[in-house]
Amino acid sequence: MNNSKNTANYNLAQLMVTAAAREIADDEVVFVGMRLPLLGFLLAKSTHAPGAIGVYELGIVRDTPAPAPLMTMGDLPNLCRAQWLADTADAMGLLQQGAVDLSFIGGAQVDRYGNLNTSYIGGIDTVETRLPGSGGACDLACLARRHIIVMSHEKRRFVPRVDYITSPGFGHGCGWREKMGLPRGGPSTVITTLGVLRFDPDSAEMILSSIHPGVTIAQVRHNTGWSLQVAPDLARTPEPTARELKMIRQFDPEGYWTGSA
């Protein structure tokens, strides 16, 4: 991921962390994930969403921030005074019960309807590259009340149709999830290295909602494998505030996930 600076005060990764944090509402139960979403949850918890609950796939549930910086969800500070220390099956059980409001997912490919591929480039019959597979990502995409996709914005990743659906978005369009028996959820937001995208309620197709500072619509479209629609009220992604940047640097003091700024 490109961590080049957009201004003298913050870099791209820090901008994406703040965008992720702002998707979290107070008192929501969040299946946190790793890398930038891990920092995004900590930022939200420490600013506008103090009542948010963090669920980690190892089976950790926290209602308070970890007492020290984390590089991974399994670091010992994340276990200290956790609300619940269980296992992965228990964490997945919360999803099955419908208790998780929001989850974060990434992928190698995403298409216009938010379907994600982390299994096979080239498809299952003509495999070019075998990817890590689902892990718990399919569960998150199917069972959380909504999920947010975080990934690099490149044409080879943003494709008209994924080679294999590992984690379903809206399938072929509006109404597909209901036909497939998925009782809840779907992607709500896609946070990328170029902007923030959301989904049209009528077509279920991804649309460009905001672009990051210094990015043009032409750049986004050039890096998207289909004719991307742009919201009529297209915005510029809000920059991190001084307070948010201070918190991010406390959570990631060595720049392990966000680099240096």
Task: Work out the mean pLDDT of the chain and round it to a whole number.
Answer: 93
Is position 57 annotated as part of the catalytic site? yes
CB 234 within 8 A of CB 12: no
Assign 5 a pLDDT band (cuts: 50, 70, 90).
very low
Does the pLDDT at position 260 exceed 70? no
Look at residue 101 in the predicted model and tell me its pLDDT.
97
Does the pLDDT at position 6 exceed 70? no
Domain 103-237 belongs to what topology? Glutaconate Coenzyme A-transferase (3.40.1080)
**Smallest Cα–Cα separation from 158: which of 227, 98, 88, 104?**
227
Does the pLDDT at position 154 exceed 70? yes
Lowest mean pLDDT among 2-6, 19-23, 150-154, 248-252: 2-6
Rounded to two decimals, what is the model's pTM? 0.92
Look at residue 22 in the predicted model and tell me its pLDDT.
97
- Beta bridge mates, 117: 109
Tell me which of 23, 57, 205, 244 is the catalytic residue: 57
In tens, the pLDDT along 169-209 reads 999 999 999 999 998 889 999 999 999 999 999 999 999 99
The CATH number for 1-100+240-254, chosen from 3.90.1280.10, 3.40.50.720, 3.30.420.40, 3.40.1080.10, is 3.40.1080.10
Query: Which one is predicted more confidently, 54 or 67?
Result: 54
Look at residue 129 in the predicted model and tell me its pLDDT.
93
Look at residue 7 in the predicted model and tell me its pLDDT.
45
Q: Taking the domains of the chain in order of start, what are their residue ranges?
A: 1-100+240-254, 103-237
Does the pLDDT at position 8 exceed 80? no
What is the average pLDDT across 75-100? 93
How far apart, in whole angstroms, are the C-alpha atoms of residue 88 and residue 58?
5
Assign 228 a pLDDT band (cuts: 50, 70, 90).
very high
Does the pLDDT at position 114 exceed 80? yes
Look at residue 67 in the predicted model and tell me its pLDDT.
86
